[in-house]
Structure 1
Amino acid sequence: MTLDPEVTPHRAEAGAALTFDDLLRRAASLVRPGRRALLGIAGSPGAGKTTLAEHLVRALNAGGEPWVAHVPMDGFHLADVELGRLGRLGRKGAPDTFDAAGYAALLRRLRDAEDDVVYAPGFERVLEQPIAGAIPVPRTARLVVTEGNYLLVDDGEWARVRPRLDEVWFCETDETERVRRLVARHEEFGKAHDDAVAWVLGTDQRNAELVAGTRHRADLVVPGTALPGTRL
């Protein structure tokens, strides 16, 4: 699907039915001549942030030269060796287990769009480790979609993130489904079922409650199960 980046989005009121095309128009409308736009997608672990971001980027880039990039926050996880040194390995995924200042600095570089290419770190799910320089963002990218749990947190270094984003959407889904997804994800990447459930209901749940408390700061709330053509 190819959209005019200057199209005005459908501004749905709270409770109004949205379509995926509405979200595409709203995302595209953030771009203005001569400047790059940054769209953030926040939400609790397992809410569907990555799924929504990937569908947006794929649909906006379809049918022409790619002009939208996807830069997840997860590349700013601290490495396990550093988490071990800090005594935080058992809380991996909590706000203080990320390099929030580094993430904010990357967003500033992406906003400035002065470099031919900006390299962002990725996150390898099998290794459960960040990978430096894994995501190239060329100067031609006019919209960057970034997603992560803590984009709307206003404490410490995280408070530097929201001002660098044009909009932040909050992705949420049914709580039972969110927990089911998280357990399945942890099992997929090596945890035994009981260990996965314990982690989800412990560490992940504490993080989810913190993130849920930032929902009111979002510009738009959408379900994390959003897919092209579905009504939200």
Structure 2
Amino acid sequence: MSTPAEVTAEQALGAARALLDEALRTGSRRLLGIAGAPGAGKSTLTALLADHLPERSCVVVPMDGFHLADAALARLGRLERKGAPDTFDAAGYVALLQRLRTARPRDPSVWAPTFERDLEQPLAGAIEVPAEVPLVITEGNYLLADGAFAPVRALLDARWFVETTVELRRQWLVERHERFGKSPEQARRWALGPDEDNARLVAATRARAQLVVSTS
């Protein structure tokens, strides 16, 4: 396994443009996968790419749309581990990527779920992916993981990993949890508990990326 190249966000944008150009040249959609630990800056990077690529040339589809609902997690006894690999519908995510990969220009749009942070719940049918869109960017913790997520890697044309310093990642997580309703104590406990457990799992997949993007 080769060591991934380390790049800046600006260089990553150049790589995304090259991937888009390849899709347009060949007439075949490309899938870019961006992995990283909770709070590493995945959403920030994908937003930057989407803002700087030509309009209607890409759609962002987050893995977080495949979170199991809290009601299901409570029934399964997994609510206190929300965000762990087995709290997602991994098979559903894989099936969506397969549909996105094989779509042809005259096919109907594919509708993907998103994760509504105000509700802390997945929301079905929220993201339209027209068949003619040449680049799909998908981001999430476990794109490079084993187990139920193992089929994801083969469906991606490019595999990136986002990272930042531990201190900054934890700070961003605490701030995000507070912003969406947790008390400072709850936010810190979750960031240093379940989030940190998941971050260690994600860190072990770094070497499977082709590019590592620093967001610090």
TM-score strictly above 0.5: yes
Whether 1:130 aligns to 2:118 is no
Cα separation, partners in 2 of 1:52 and 1:16, compared to 1, 3 Å: closer
Cα separation, partners in 2 of 1:204 and 1:30, compared to 1, 3 Å: farther
One-letter amino acid matched to 2:54: N
Counterpart position of 1:216: 207
Answer 1 or 2: which has greater helix percent: 2
SS of match in other structure, 2:98: helix
- Asked if 1 retains the 8 angstrom alpha-carbon contact of 2:39 and 2:169, the reply is yes
Counterpart position of 1:185: 176
Cα separation, partners in 2 of 1:84 and 1:30, compared to 1, 3 Å: farther
Counterpart position of 2:95: 105
Deviation of 1:175 after TM superposition, in Å, equals 1.1
Counterpart position of 1:56: 49
- Asked if 1 retains the 8 angstrom alpha-carbon contact of 2:114 and 2:127, the reply is yes
Counterpart position of 2:113: 121
Deviation of 1:116 after TM superposition, in Å, equals 1.8
- Asked if 2 retains the 8 angstrom alpha-carbon contact of 1:119 and 1:136, the reply is yes
One-letter amino acid matched to 1:161: V
SS of match in other structure, 2:150: helix
Identity of aligned residues (%): 56
Q: C-alpha offsets along residues 34-54 of structure 1, whole Å, 9 cap, x if unaligned?
A: 311100000000000011011
Task: Give 5+ residue unaligned stretches, structure 1.
Answer: 1-12, 226-232
Counterpart position of 1:150: 142
Counterpart position of 1:77: 67
Cα separation, partners in 2 of 1:17 and 1:61, compared to 1, 3 Å: closer
- Asked if 2 retains the 8 angstrom alpha-carbon contact of 1:30 and 1:166, the reply is no
Whether 1:159 aligns to 2:153 is no
TM-score (norm 2): 0.91
Q: C-alpha offsets along residues 93-115 of structure 1, whole Å, 9 cap, x if unaligned?
A: 00000000000000000001143
**Structure with greater contact order relative to length (CA < 8 Å, sep ≥ 6):** 2
Q: Distance in 1 between matches of 2:180 and 2:172?
A: 12
Q: Distance in 1 between matches of 2:7 and 2:152?
A: 29
One-letter amino acid matched to 1:80: D
Deviation of 1:25 after TM superposition, in Å, equals 3.1
Counterpart position of 2:31: 38
Cα separation, partners in 2 of 1:27 and 1:175, compared to 1, 3 Å: farther
Task: Give 5+ residue unaligned stretches, structure 2.
Answer: none
One-letter amino acid matched to 1:214: T
SS of match in other structure, 2:113: strand
Deviation of 1:150 after TM superposition, in Å, equals 0.2
One-letter amino acid matched to 2:191: V
